[in-house]
Structure 1
Amino acid sequence: MMASWVTEAIGKISADYQRSADTHLIKLEGLKLKGIDIYLKDESTHPTGSLKHRLARSLFLYALCNGKVTKNTTVVEASSGSTAVSEAYFARMIGVPFIAVMPRSTAKSKIRQIEFFGGRCHFVDCATQMHDEAIKVANELNGCFMDQFTYAERATDWRGNNNIAESIFRQMEAEPNPVPHTVVMSAGTGGTSATIGRYIRYKGFDTQLLVVDPENSVFYDSYVTRDAGLTASMGSRIEGIGRPQVEASFQWDVIDTMIKVEDAASIATILWLEQKIGRKAGASTGTNLWGVLQVAKEMQARGETGSIVTLMCDSGERYLDTYYSPVWVKKHIGDVQPYIDQLDARF
């Protein structure tokens, strides 16, 4: 009886995947970059509005196939928002309760979306408290802690099966420079960067993987020092990326290089991007694109041509009261105008 429920749950998730189209690859036009093309893979068009839709699907399938989620299991996740939104969607789909453990500072629009999909939010004061609190909540309810930060890199089939890396390279096939010079990705769990890095090596592409990291995250320092025990006293101000501890899914060895990006640069870049494409993107997209533009600047200085690809992780409509509020930005981030001026002058 339980086996038939699991089969039915997997069938529902698979059917949802079959109904979904691939996400668009947007080419940025009108930049001052001769011979260098920049592309954004727009993950905001998933049913739950972010890149994390792919991860949540994989995590649910992984948990179901490993016997961790059954008909009466409460699913618990530690998340700053987007993964929780997507997991709430899949939990409702298969009919199990869902609880998101998240910081109180999480964007209100994400909280509303989690509740819309039938999930419940359990708040902590700081991102550093999420993991332990999620374990506690799951144990109290005899539930399943989905633990995206541990299982993200292993739940996704990095060799293909329409993962995000395969999708990017397939969509690039008809472009002037079909094999990207560099793919740029920020790390939240580290699962997407691991998938992309592994896929590049598996297929033998001459492509570099650059991972960008925001302030108040230990990923960059851990990459440089190879110290998996690093911790920080506070969480990232760029929702969805950066962590105060080194997570199990963060894989150093598939990354070619990393850079640290100031939060003011990330915010400035999404404001600059809105003027280029007429759409708002989340702050993690700003971190990604700032990294792309640094690569482009270096390529141009060396006289190189080619393509660079990154991700639009989610829509900026979720952050109207934070990253798109001048008052909030001035208070929590600082002056972003110098970075906007740099972007306008250079690109």
Structure 2
Amino acid sequence: MHAPQGPDSTRQDQSWVHWAIGRIEADYARSSDTHLLAVPLPALAHIALYLKDESSHPTGSLKHRLARSLFLHALCSGWIGPDTTVVEASSGSTAVSEAYFARMLGLPFIAVIPEHTAREKIAAIEALGGACHAVADPGSVQSVAARIAAECGGHHIDQFTYAERATDWRGNNNIAESIFAQMRREPHPVPTWIVCGAGTGGTSATIGRYLRYFRHPTRLCLADPEASAFHRHWHDRAVAAGSGEPCLIEGIGRPRIEASFVPTVIDRAEVVGDAASIGAARALSRHLGRRVGGSTGTNLVACARIAAEMAARGEAGAIVSILCDSGERYASTLYNDAWLAERGLDCSAHEARMAHFLAAGTWSE
């Protein structure tokens, strides 16, 4: 929902909108690009693996790019003014980033989150001045956010609808442009594969469109949680819902198809169970010497499968994926053995399998 704007209020707010856009652009100018990490694979001499480290953004995740784009899109569309309450439906990271930009502009912010959201994310939202409204049914977050925005005369910024259109996929330092710029001096400057998950679908849409626009041969792989609707819809467009089971990997995978998901730009979909994602994240954390989030583990499993196939065919090339956020946000969940045990998850075999891949270069399910 968009806050009502008449001609007079629009004119009065114009100078504030100019100021707000300038604030966001100034913040961007103070930030450097995120690192592209080379992941050591000593047994795969001809295959290079890279992770785009989005945890180094000011708000600690890939969603910082999205939040900036969503705020600029809403400001330039006339949907946000100096007194607008901004409301979002989020599993946590997008809300953290949006709370950052809302505070920058002096706007109230309300995050509608699933009640199982990691408490570290809730604390981050609140530390940035946002309020959290938890709901029991994760599938209801969008409708609840829209209702709250309507009740307070605010704006539902709606990442699930606007993610794919708020980002300029032709360039303007989107994540795809940044990856290709950073790969220029690498042995394989044009990646064979880029692997990413989908929460809204905005990142996969941006990368897929960029690849086509610049006519790169790089293929795009979707790494998707088992319960998610996205991989099901990619295989069969008539399917619009997930399995109905809960997904423990925050930030990616959805129980339904979202408006920003564009299946036609995706070349391959890899389905990854929650235990495999968590085990992979833990193994990679030891390999890098720092904790990574669960969605990075999901990406890594898909990368391992692709790398093993390339090696078996004698192919050389590069695979690029995304380190979405830090594992410190999941200290009480994915890195808490008691939390996993309560949910009947034993990730040890998956963790050992990924550790073996990182060391020996072989993969078996």
Q: CA deviation at 1:185?
A: 0.3
**Which residue identity lines up with residue 156 of structure 1 in the other structure?**
T
Please name the residue that 1:117 is paired with.
128
Q: Cα deviation per residue 1:136-190 (whole Å; 9 max; x = unaligned)?
A: 1011011100110000000000000110000000000000011000000000000
Please name the residue that 1:331 is paired with.
342
Indicate whether 1:198 and 2:209 are aligned: yes
Distance 1:228 1:97, change over 3 A: farther
Query: Hey, what's the Cα distance between the residues in 2 that align with 1:127 and 1:254?
Result: 27
Q: 2:30 aligns with which of 9, 19, 23?
A: 19
Percent of aligned pairs with the same residue?
Answer: 55
> What is the SS of the residue equivalent to 2:199?
coil
> What is the SS of the residue equivalent to 1:41?
strand
Q: CA deviation at 1:327?
A: 1.5
**Which residue identity lines up with residue 114 of structure 2 in the other structure?**
P
Q: Which runs of 5+ in 2 are unaligned?
A: 1-11
CA contact under 8 A between 1:88 and 1:117: conserved in structure 2? yes
Q: 1:150 aligns with which of 161, 164, 167?
A: 161
Query: Hey, what's the Cα distance between the residues in 1 that align with 2:44 and 2:275?
Result: 23
Q: CA deviation at 1:330?
A: 2.5
Indicate whether 1:74 and 2:81 are aligned: no
Q: CA deviation at 1:232?
A: 4.6
More moved, 156-165 vs 269-278: 269-278
Distance 1:298 1:333, change over 3 A: farther
Please name the residue that 1:46 is paired with.
57
Query: Hey, what's the Cα distance between the residues in 1 that align with 2:240 and 2:302?
Result: 26
Query: Hey, what's the Cα distance between the residues in 2 that align with 1:213 and 1:229?
Result: 15
Q: TM-score, normalised by structure 2?
A: 0.93
Please name the residue that 1:310 is paired with.
321
**Which residue identity lines up with residue 189 of structure 2 in the other structure?**
P
Q: 2:112 aligns with which of 72, 76, 101?
A: 101
Alignment of 1:167-206 (within 5 A): 167-206=178-217
CA contact under 8 A between 1:191 and 1:250: conserved in structure 2? yes
Q: Cα deviation per residue 1:83-129 (whole Å; 9 max; x = unaligned)?
A: 00000000011111100000111111111111111100001012111
CA contact under 8 A between 1:263 and 1:333: conserved in structure 2? no
Query: Hey, what's the Cα distance between the residues in 1 that align with 2:66 and 2:215?
Result: 24
> What is the SS of the residue equivalent to 2:306?
helix
Q: 1:32 aligns with which of 39, 43, 48?
A: 43
Alignment of 1:206-225 (within 5 A): 206-225=217-236
Q: 2:97 aligns with which of 70, 80, 86?
A: 86
> What is the SS of the residue equivalent to 2:83?
coil
Q: CA deviation at 1:228?
A: 5.6
**Which residue identity lines up with residue 110 of structure 2 in the other structure?**
I
CA contact under 8 A between 2:243 and 2:255: conserved in structure 1? yes
> What is the SS of the residue equivalent to 1:180?
coil
- After superposing on structure 2, the runs of 4+ consecutive aligned residues of structure 1 that deviate more than 4 Å are none
CA contact under 8 A between 2:247 and 2:274: conserved in structure 1? no
Please name the residue that 1:254 is paired with.
265
Query: Hey, what's the Cα distance between the residues in 2 that align with 1:162 and 1:329?
Result: 38
CA contact under 8 A between 1:216 and 1:237: conserved in structure 2? no
**Which residue identity lines up with residue 94 of structure 2 in the other structure?**
T
Query: Hey, what's the Cα distance between the residues in 1 that align with 2:339 and 2:164?
Result: 34
Query: Hey, what's the Cα distance between the residues in 1 that align with 2:228 and 2:104?
Result: 34
Query: Hey, what's the Cα distance between the residues in 1 that align with 2:299 and 2:183?
Result: 18
**CA RMSD in angstroms, aligned pairs only:** 1.1
Please name the residue that 2:283 is paired with.
272
> What is the SS of the residue equivalent to 1:288?
helix
Q: Cα deviation per residue 1:282-329 (whole Å; 9 max; x = unaligned)?
A: 000000111111100000011101100000000000100100011112
Query: Hey, what's the Cα distance between the residues in 2 that align with 1:45 and 1:232?
Result: 33
**Which residue identity lines up with residue 83 of structure 1 in the other structure?**
T
Q: CA deviation at 1:32?
A: 2.0
More moved, 230-239 vs 72-81: 230-239
Please name the residue that 2:304 is paired with.
293
More moved, 187-196 vs 208-217: 208-217
Q: CA deviation at 1:231?
A: 4.8
Q: CA deviation at 1:227?
A: 2.3
Query: Hey, what's the Cα distance between the residues in 2 that align with 1:333 and 1:165?
Result: 38
